[in-house]
Structure 1
């Protein structure tokens, strides 16, 4: 175990910090090279790269955790590999095989082990795998060359003062087209979210909530996260739609809600005018695991769930169970944790 570098672990945010090494690999003439670790954090690409002009970019977000016993945990990395492969196919990009993806992640984590926040600080090592189309291109077509890379940085506990509910604003903007790229983790989905997110922040809301692009009646995503609700009869409900990004955290919570908490779980339409069926609600994703939702502003109506200041009991249990698995405090379902 490498000794951690000197950082103010208690006050880490979610900000870019240059670490020592990143993994980089190039696709040329129909195949990937062997890949390597580099200290250079600057990407050098052609001005004709399709990533710059036609949005041929995909990425992932994942974490490595210093476990209670001092080992290093990766949480379900094969799910990130498979989701990235689906995103690549949607944009006609070559895929990174799962074994190569996981091995590259391990190399980056090992090379930057000193940056993993110590156990007990609530921090983790955030990893950002990404792929972009590069090379001398100009026409609207897939690139002939690609770059795949993984970099990392230490990030702090998302909630400095514990689980604190956040209020959200239903946006008039669409996050994605009905049959578009919503279910893929592509750069354009996030670029389009900056304006509605900014408008929500100006009105003192945590972020925007997006409705389905066809009928504008059903909740799809909460900012860059998935929505879930706990009904008054203890069902764990999350939206289902072809334009929602399938969150690894969400599907982990679906499993834990059923198998560990004994709740009935459902993926179904969540109508924005029927929020009173929920006793608790939250947004889930890699960064925060769970963000409790205090209330939702929809047109002229503001709906409060459990509380605007306190997190509901089931949401707390789910958060504790999942984070306990990630940090090695709670027994994980088979295959969920891979040691580095």
Structure 2
């Protein structure tokens, strides 16, 4: 096994070239057998639909080093299903669940020495993606496709880790009401760059998007999902056809109800009723849980639990989820694949 010179505690969320990645091509109606390669450069036709028409989708999941040295994958079957949904939305060929999971396993095993040690809080982030390639120029589905999986060690997505930060409501829409908001496609993220940059310039961690139809309800928090804890112990998260179905969010909905005894609710989160929540947070694979200290909406700045301290329910949810992922807490059946 190779060795890497990485200061695990200083990792941020940025690209690091690892040794191997998985690569597979779809042509003439079928996927090839796929293989691991050391080449981190993608060679595609200049006419590829991914370059011109945004025919591209991706996923994000993590591998975790456990206390006993073993490795956990967290719910990769759910990532496979979500990528299949994204592929259907963009008329791309689906990657079978078993192929998706095996590709992730192969990449993790081949790059095991890049998995951060237990106790550092860092993880191995896994990025599967599929893009339309091949010679093309018309607005049509691509004649060929490329599916790849690569990985890298990462630290916290938001600076400070489990520390409250502030967010601002954007005037932009993340996605159209009947558009691609529920699919994890590249165009959604390209559209978020400008509002995200404007939020950063105003010293906020990220922006919050409202529903595109009425601009009265919270939908997403930048590249993550929103949740709030009410005064009467409800875990509430928005429900909308234009929200990306976060695997972390649905895991937290389950844990909130079955482990913490809260009432788990998916429903409307009115931007003018933030006072109903005593705690709030953003959640996702990259972000895990990022406590929201306050939200700036027009001229009003609403503070939840504290601008400096993490709320008790948010911390319990974080500890339960991370405990499961790192193998310290018993996982619900089917949530962990052990390597």
The bucket for the TM-score relative to the shorter chain is over 0.9
User: Aligned partners of 1:283 and 1:126: how far apart in 2?
Assistant: 18
> What do the CA deviations read for 1:285-328 (whole angstroms, capped 9, x no partner)?
01121000000011111110001111100000000000000000
Confirm or deny: 8 A CA contact 1:182 1:245 kept in the other structure.
Answer: yes
Matches within 5 A, 1:171-182: 171-182=170-181
| 2:286 aligned partner | 287
| 2:88 aligned partner | 89
| 1:47 aligned partner | 46
Q: Which moved more, 1:300-309 or 1:157-166?
A: 157-166
> What do the CA deviations read for 1:42-101 (whole angstroms, capped 9, x no partner)?
000000000000000000011000011111100000000000000000000000000000
| 2:189 aligned partner | 190
| 2:334 aligned partner | 335
Confirm or deny: 8 A CA contact 2:158 2:205 kept in the other structure.
Answer: no
**In the alignment, structure 1 residue 221 sits paired with structure 2 residue 223:** no
User: Aligned partners of 1:140 and 1:218: how far apart in 2?
Assistant: 34
Normalized against structure 2, the TM-score is what?
Answer: 0.98
| 1:278 aligned partner | 277
What is the SS of the residue equivalent to 1:237? strand
| 2:152 aligned partner | 153
| 1:321 aligned partner | 320
User: Aligned partners of 2:152 and 2:272: how far apart in 1?
Assistant: 40
Normalized against structure 1, the TM-score is what?
Answer: 0.98
| 1:301 aligned partner | 300
What is the SS of the residue equivalent to 1:175? coil
Shift of 1:334: 0.4
What is the SS of the residue equivalent to 1:192? helix
Shift of 1:159: 6.7
Aligned residues: 339
Shift of 1:26: 0.1
Shift of 1:162: 5.3
Matches within 5 A, 1:131-280: 131-158=130-157, 163-280=162-279
User: Aligned partners of 2:135 and 2:186: how far apart in 1?
Assistant: 20
**In the alignment, structure 1 residue 130 sits paired with structure 2 residue 108:** no
> What do the CA deviations read for 1:106-127 (whole angstroms, capped 9, x no partner)?
0000000000001111111000
CA pair 339-137 structure 1, distance change in 2 beyond 3 A: same
| 2:309 aligned partner | 310
CA pair 38-298 structure 1, distance change in 2 beyond 3 A: same
